[in-house]
Amino acid sequence: MANKPIKIALLGLGTVGTGVYKLLSMRADDMPQIAGAPIEISHILVRNASKPRSGVETALLTDNWNDIISDPEVSIVVELMGGIEPAHTYIKEALQANKNVVTANKDLIAVHGGELLDLAEEHHCDLQFEASVAGAIPIIHPLKQSLAGNRITEIMGIVNGTTNYILTRMTEDGMEFSEALAKATELGYAEADPTADIEGYDAGRKVAIMASIAFHSRVTFDDVFTEGITNIQARDIRYAKEMGKAVKLLGVACNTDEGIEVRVHPMLIPSSHPLATVNNAFNAVFVHGDALDDAMFMGRGAGELPTASAVTGDIIDTARNILMHCTGRIGCTCYKKLPIKKMEDIKSKYYLRLEVENRMGVLAGVTGVLGNNGVSISQVLQKASDTDSAELVVITDTVRERHIRDALTILSNMSMVHKIASVIRVY
């Protein structure tokens, strides 16, 4: 191949940046055949360019963004810093300088994706972000391409490996949440501040990105209802298991006639559902479309080389577009403006675990309140009890969220109800 190298700049040399550097080195000999030209890293933007990094050519390091943005030879900027700033500014400036962009930054795309895709289109540039959702699993490209003939009505995914690992430990080893979180931290699955993972924010960003592409209508992180897994107890998982169900933290996006539902919360799903068997740090995305029916994509959602796999795929795709003079070939696919459904309006079944007074009439009292609020009951189980209190597990029929909330407000004010211990949605 006679093509001259395509020069790229990496922004950031953390876990993902290091992975991309390694993977591009591993594939250097094959790139002329795979991408059509050699891929050459010409700059790596880091905070401290004088700090040596093992295995990385020091001459490539720079702490000056101007070195990159002003170099006309750089045709792809690969943003792997994460967070909103300065990534947002750098990506805008790169696109304005007619440079293509590959990014793994879910925080940024989930909030500013629409604006950045518009800017990319204006400059006929690629803006690719496969790695921003579900790590190594190809999902953005398939949704924009092989599945593009479908009306996608549902996307449901385990898109946070940390929480899936925690729930797996709670399920398989009977650990409580805090113990499982400690284990995840010990193994490097959870960060020092695990808030974004365990509160569902990380998954929420990914769901916003997937929903935007699947439903052709911009969804941002603000639109996503998020509820984490900090309140899940080992006994809830045990009771779920007894009912043939697994507890997973799911990102759910549905395209309904009443608008788009986007939410992240723990959910009881049947053990026979393909997502139920996705364990440990694995991610998986389940898609339902009118032509394809059901499909599921499973793989590593994080990690140095798995994330680098997705980033490198985007670099290769962009390189091909550069060589064929067709950058910007697939831009923003949000050509609709669909309303977002309020969380109170979604319909679901619910698993309720209540600690109640242990005396006659309590069951009638609880079910009466539920019934008066339009919540019909599918199943009631009395679990543990002692002299003073009893534990009730109620599975409801499908009801609107607002009705459950109303009923729970009333129940929580009744003296016979000691505690509403758990409320988990049921698929």
Residues forming the site for its own copies (CB under 8 A)? 19, 23-24, 26-27, 30, 33-35, 130, 136-138, 141-142, 145-151, 216, 274, 277, 289-300, 303, 305-306, 308-317, 320-321, 324-326, 329-330, 333, 335
Neighbours of 292 (CB within 10 A): 13
Q: What is the DSSP letter of 302?
A: S
Nearest residue (CB) to its own copies, 134 versus 404: 134
Nearest residue (CB) to its own copies, 102 versus 249: 102
Q: Residue 318 Cβ, how far from its own copies at the closest point, in Å?
A: 11
Q: Residue 124 Cβ, how far from its own copies at the closest point, in Å?
A: 10
Q: Residue 115 Cβ, how far from its own copies at the closest point, in Å?
A: 19
Nearest residue (CB) to its own copies, 32 versus 86: 32
Nearest residue (CB) to its own copies, 275 versus 354: 275
Give long-range contacts, CB 8 A cutoff, 24+ apart: 201-205: 201/226, 202/106, 202/159, 202/160, 202/162, 203/157, 203/159, 203/160, 203/163, 203/249, 203/250, 203/251, 203/264, 204/110, 204/251, 204/262, 204/264, 205/106, 205/107, 205/109, 205/110, 205/111, 205/132
- Using CA atoms, how far apart are residues 396 and 425, in angstroms rounded to an integer? 10
Q: Residue 275 Cβ, how far from its own copies at the closest point, in Å?
A: 11
Distances (CA, A) of 297 to 19, 116, 161, 177: 22, 27, 14, 27
3-state secondary structure of 375: coil
Q: Residue 245 Cβ, how far from its own copies at the closest point, in Å?
A: 16
Note if 336 is an active site residue: no
Nearest residue (CB) to its own copies, 290 versus 344: 290
Catalytic option among 4, 99, 106, 206: 206
Give long-range contacts, CB 8 A cutoff, 24+ apart: 176-179: 176/233, 176/234, 177/229, 177/230, 177/232, 177/233, 177/234
Q: List the catalytic residues.
A: 206
